[in-house]
Structures are given as structure tokens and as C-alpha cells.
């Protein structure tokens, strides 16, 4: 069969042009479902592909004239009444997801008694997998908005207690600037629960794609949302480097590596693409072998990535300012200088204004200035000269002071240096006591920020060492004005509960 993409009509294979629109016909594929109706509403137009979950078709919703995607899922799992009820219950839950980066599930049902189907929006973009193949890897600037949208979508599903179970670049579609995540919960629709292990299986196979499966998924254990965090880590790793963290000759070898091998560094995989240390740490944490050591959900992974890149951008901006030699003036300083020199014989202009003055005008202004100065008495000229020298000295002193502050930034107080030494030596209790004493002093804003950063980083480090009591004590000391306060408070409460168990 052949399909006209303009009028959505099907024609026999012997036709090349649509008799109605005179446009070239496209191959609709070979399937007995083409041209048939589903639920007396969706007319199947073309066969799009076959996957492990079933066949995918392009269809037309006759009630809205909107193109849709229909997935006819393998029916062997809904042969009994209990399985059919489970399919309908899970599909209803998934259809409740409403997020701009999640492909919407509009309709679901059963053809006859054993053929499940789902109807979703039809996408015309390319998969992230194709983009990675075409480009070799995705640059950090291009990858960041993709990561934000994907993680935002998965976070929404996690809040609804829905686990994707099969996150990978093939299930992420890019439509211009919009990113869509496909197949939320479809794995759970198709795989039945093993009552002994709690895992999902189909025909003896564990649910998931081996290249992106978490260690617990490889072991066939019951999953929670942290399994998705691991799959997201693999996806981000591949997107940025062009390679997955693990490769093997067979599926069992690959699953063994997920369970036992530590992931390589992204910087080691691509020495030509230096990644910020904070980003490297966030991705490495998401790939932890133990789910308790990963980010708790997709939202926390996004927070870690955003924080890492924010600090990286601040460092780049500071380095750019320092290397340029330019000392920035705020509006108040600029106004003060202009007012001080307002009545002097020298005019303050911007560099651009100087460049725009014609050479003839400069010569004319110079001649007028010399003629006017010759008519003034010596005493008056001397007074103005002394005034200009005074103003010039004042401005020079201001510039020198600003330059010294830029070149020699304020160092933390000696006591904070001592705290750092204590932390390095592992004497965290003494470090926290000293930080308490320092916080009772009247600190400058930059000193308070420094203290809060120390407390936050110390808490994270202690949590990684599974010292949950120490981590909670450190994180809950972060001040309310800190950018880390909300996250530190949430983590601190969580680690306190873990320490009490």
C-alpha cells in the first residue's frame, strides 16, 4: 500500500502520484492492519516499525483529523482476565501524566480479548540516539537544555510514582527545541511481575535494555525510581562523550560490568573534551552500584548538574575578568567620577565616544583650548592645574584600590583555614565545633558564603562515606541565606532518618 501524506488516503502499490493532490505517494509498509480502523475512530495509515514491545503505526484520528501513533503491543501477556485488568489499570495511571516533555498517552484498550494497544501523540522529530550517531557526541551547550527537559519529564513521572524502566536515547525524541520522552511505563504494561523476586519479566527475560540497565535491574531485583537515575546517568554519559560507560561482546558480559565494574571517567573517555569536575562527580554519583548512593530521583540529579555547571560558569567569568585587566565600575562610581570632573577642563567620555570624534574636530578643539588658555592669568591656570592633579590622584587611588581587590581577593579568616585542615585530617567533630564558634561572630557576606559552602561540601562528603549522622549535623547547619539551604535541609533530614534506623 502507498500513502498520500497530504490527504492521508491509501492507494494501491501501482500508483506513484496521488490522484487528488498530485503529490508523490509514500510507502505505507506491509501490514494487514493498514487501512483498518481501531475503536471505530483511528484509521491506520502506515507501518512505522517493529520493536520488542510490538508494532508501531501512524494513524489518523477521524474525529479530530489529527495524526497519532498507535502501538499494538504483544498480546501474550494479557491472555488471562487478571493480566487484562492489570494492563487497563496501569494504562490509566500512565495516561494521567501531563507534562510538556512527556509523550501523551491519549487512549488505550484491547482489540478483541488479547491484543492491547495504546494511542499517543505522533512525533516527527529525530531520536537522541540518531543525533548522537550523526554528531559523534553532543556538546555541553547543546546537551544542557536536552538534559533539563528530560530530567524534568522523568521527575514529573517520579512524583507520580511511575518508573520508566527503559530510559535510553532511543526513547528520547527531539522536535526542534522541544524534547519528548517516550514509553513511560510501557515496560510495566508488557512485562508481568515475578512474585518471588518482584522483578518484571517476559518470556524469561528481564525488563530493560542491557546497555542502560541498573545493577539491580540486571540482577532481576524489584526496582524503584533510582533505577531510572542510573539509566539517566548512562544516557547523559553517552550524550556528552559519544560512548556508553560499558561495552561487552555479549549481553551477560555487559550486565556483569553494570553490576561489578566502576564506571570510567568521562574525561578519561574523551580527553579532548574537558568536563567540569562537578559535572563529572554528579554523573559518577548517578552511576553508583548501590542505589542508596545515587541521587534519590531525577530532580536531585538535575539539581546536582545545575549546581556543578553554575559554579563552572562563575569560575569562567571570574577568569575572563581577571585576564582582561578591565576593572568594572558600578553606576554610582561612574556618576561620582563624572561629577568630580564636571567643571574641569578635561571632558570624560567613553572609549567609543573618543573613537567617534572626527580628527578635524579634535584639532579644532585643541586650537581653541590653547587660545583660551593663553588669555587666562597664570594664577587661575595654576589653580585649575592643581585641582586637576588632585582629582586625577583621587581617581588613580580608587582604580588602584579596585585593582588590588581584584588581583588579591580576600582570603578566608585564619580560623576557617584551620577548619579546612581539621576536615582534611578527618577531625570533623572538631571542625563543626569551630564552625559553630565562627558562625556566632559577625561575618561578612563572603565569609558566611564560605562557611556555608564548607558545611554543605562536608555534609555531602560524610554522606558518601555513609556517616549519615555527621552528614546531617553538617548540612542542617547551613544558613537560611545560602543558595544550598533548601537542598541541604532536605538532605540533612533524610540522612538524620537514615542514622536513626
Query: Which are the catalytic amino acids?
Result: 166
Check: CB of residue 157 under 8 Å from CB of residue 102: yes
Long-range contacts of 382-391 (CB under 8 A, 24+ apart): 384/344, 384/345, 387/344, 388/344, 388/345, 388/346, 391/340, 391/341, 391/344
Check: CB of residue 101 under 8 Å from CB of residue 150: yes
Note the helical H segments in 357-427.
359-374, 378-407, 414-424
What DSSP assignment string belongs to 109-150? EEETTTEEEEEEE---SEEHHHHHHHHSS--HHHHHHHHHHH
Check: CB of residue 138 under 8 Å from CB of residue 171: no
Nearest to 164 by CA among 156, 174, 173, 154: 154
Instruction: Report helix, strand or coil for 58.
Output: strand
d(CA 46, CA 59): 7
> Which set of grid coordinates corresponds to residue 452?
556555608
Note the helical H segments in 426-467.
428-439, 445-464
Amino acid at each position: 500500500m502507498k500513502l498520500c501524506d497530504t490527504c492521508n488516503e491509501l492507494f494501491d502499490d501501482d500508483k506513484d502520484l496521488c490522484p487528488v493532490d498530485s503529490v508523490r505517494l509514500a510507502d505505507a509498509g506491509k501490514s494487514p492492519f493498514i487501512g483498518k480502523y481501531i475503536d471505530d475512530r483511528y484509521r491506520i495509515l502506515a507501518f512505522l516499525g517493529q520493536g520488542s514491545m510490538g508494532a508501531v503505526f501512524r494513524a489518523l484520528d477521524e474525529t479530530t483529523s489529527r495524526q497519532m501513533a498507535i502501538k499494538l503491543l504483544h498480546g501474550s501477556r494479557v491472555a488471562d482476565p487478571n493480566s487484562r485488568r492489570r494492563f487497563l489499570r496501569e494504562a490509566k495511571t500512565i495516561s494521567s501524566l501531563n507534562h510538556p516533555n512527556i509523550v501523551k498517552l491519549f487512549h488505550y484498550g484491547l482489540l478483541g480479548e488479547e491484543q492491547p494497544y495504546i494511542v499517543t501523540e505522533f512525533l516527527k522529530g529525530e531520536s537522541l540516539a540518531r543525533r548522537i550517531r550523526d554528531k559523534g557526541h553532543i556538546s555541553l551547550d547543546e546537551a544542557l537544555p536536552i538534559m533539563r527537559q528530560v530530567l524534568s519529564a522523568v521527575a514529573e513521572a517520579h512524583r507520580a510514582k511511575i518508573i520508566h524502566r527503559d530510559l535510553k536515547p532511543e526513547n528520547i525524541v527531539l522536535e526542534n527545541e522541544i524534547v519528548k520522552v517516550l514509553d513511560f511505563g510501557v515496560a510495566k504494561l508488557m512485562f508481568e511481575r515475578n512474585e518471588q523476586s518482584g522483578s518484571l519479566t517476559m518470556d524469561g527475560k528481564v525488563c530493560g535494555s542491557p546497555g542502560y540497565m541498573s545493577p539491580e535491574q540486571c540482577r532481576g531485583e524489584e526496582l524503584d525510581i533510582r533505577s531510572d537515575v542510573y539509566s539517566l546517568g548512562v544516557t547523559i554519559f553517552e550524550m556528552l562523550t559519544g560512548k556508553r560507560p560499558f561495552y561487552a561482546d555479549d549481553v551477560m558480559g555487559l550486565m556483569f560490568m553494570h553490576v561489578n565494574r566502576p564506571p570510567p571517567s568521562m574525561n578519561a573517555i574523551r580527553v579532548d573534551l574537558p568536563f567540569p569536575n562537578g559535572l563529572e562527580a554528579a554523573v559518577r554519583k548517578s552511576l553508583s552500584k548501590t542505589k542508596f548512593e545515587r541521587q534519590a530521583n531525577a530532580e536531585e540529579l538535575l539539581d546536582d548538574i545545575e549546581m556543578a555547571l553554575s559554579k563552572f560558569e562563575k569560575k569562567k567569568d571570574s577568569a575572563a575578568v581577571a585576564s582582561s585587566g578591565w576593572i568594572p565600575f558600578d553606576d554610582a562610581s561612574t556618576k561620582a567620577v563624572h561629577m568630580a570632573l564636571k567643571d574641569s577642563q578635561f571632558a570624560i567620555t567613553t572609549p567609543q565616544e573618543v573613537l567617534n570624534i572626527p580628527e578635524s574636530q579634535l584639532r579644532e578643539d585643541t586650537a581653541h583650548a590653547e587660545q583660551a588658555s593663553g588669555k587666562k592669568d597664570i594664577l587661575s591656570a595654576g589653580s585649575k592645574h592643581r585641582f586637576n592633579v588632585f582629582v586625577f590622584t583621587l581617581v588613580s587611588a580608587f582604580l588602584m584600590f579596585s585593582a588590588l581587590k581584584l588581583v588579591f581577593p580576600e582570603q578566608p579568616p585564619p580560623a576557617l583555614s584551620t577548619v579546612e585542615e581539621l576536615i582534611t585530617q578527618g577531625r570533623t567533630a572538631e571542625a563543626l565545633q569551630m564552625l559553630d564558634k565562627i558562625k556566632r561572630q559577625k561575618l561578612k557576606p563572603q565569609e558566611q558564603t564560605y562557611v556555608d559552602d564548607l558545611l554543605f561540601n562536608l555534609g555531602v562528603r560524610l554522606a558518601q562515606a555513609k556517616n549519615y549522622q555527621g552528614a546531617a549535623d553538617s548540612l542542617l547547619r547551613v544558613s537560611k541565606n545560602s543558595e544550598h539551604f533548601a537542598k541541604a535541609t532536605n538532605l540533612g533530614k533524610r540522612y538524620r532518618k537514615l542514622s536513626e534506623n
